[in-house]
């Protein structure tokens, strides 16, 4: 199983960041790669579309409001992986209440691709996403 993780410090309190990204259906609010999200099954599943119109379906597998984190599994996507589970976390930065650390991590099995190719793919998606989140919060 392969894995990757990307972290960024963003210019907002952990509570403000969580209020923006903590909703499972909130990706279009901060992630340009996902302009459309539809909540299904009472909000436990999200049907996403990327700019090319490709569909990604994900299921919420863990949600912790107190710890400001959630995990999800990909059920359907145009990515060369299976067994994908990812976690998005918001951490406080000790001694600072005006910034937060965001960590986006995932583990997955390559399918018709090398481990390095899928690690590079998701490292890029996470890094671009957290850069976009930083830009939104710095706005």
Q: How much of the chain is helix, strand and coil, in % rounded to 5? A: 25, 45, 25
- Closest C-alpha among 127, 125, 84 to residue 107: 84
Could you identify the residue written with the tokens 């650390």?
101
Q: Are 39 and 24 in contact (CB under 8 A)?
A: yes
The answer on pLDDT for 139 being more than 90 is no
Average pLDDT, the chain: 96
What would the mean pLDDT of 107-126 be, rounded to a whole number?
A: 97
What would the mean pLDDT of 21-32 be, rounded to a whole number?
A: 94
């Amino acid at each position: 199983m392969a894995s990757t993780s990307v972290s960024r410090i963003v210019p907002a309190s952990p509570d403000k960041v969580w209020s923006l990204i903590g909703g499972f259906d909130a990706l279009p609010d901060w992630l340009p790669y996902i302009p459309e999200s539809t909540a299904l099954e009472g909000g436990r599943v999200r049907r996403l579309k990327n700019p090319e119109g490709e569909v990604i379906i994900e299921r919420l597998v863990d949600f912790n409001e107190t710890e400001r984190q959630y995990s999800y599994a990909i059920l359907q996507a145009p990515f060369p992986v299976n067994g994908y589970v990812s976690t998005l976390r918001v951490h406080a930065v000790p001694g600072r209440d005006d910034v937060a650390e965001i960590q986006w991590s995932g583990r997955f099995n390559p399918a018709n691709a090398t481990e390095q190719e899928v690690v590079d793919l998701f490292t890029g998606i996470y890094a671009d996403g957290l850069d976009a989140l930083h830009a939104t919060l710095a706005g």
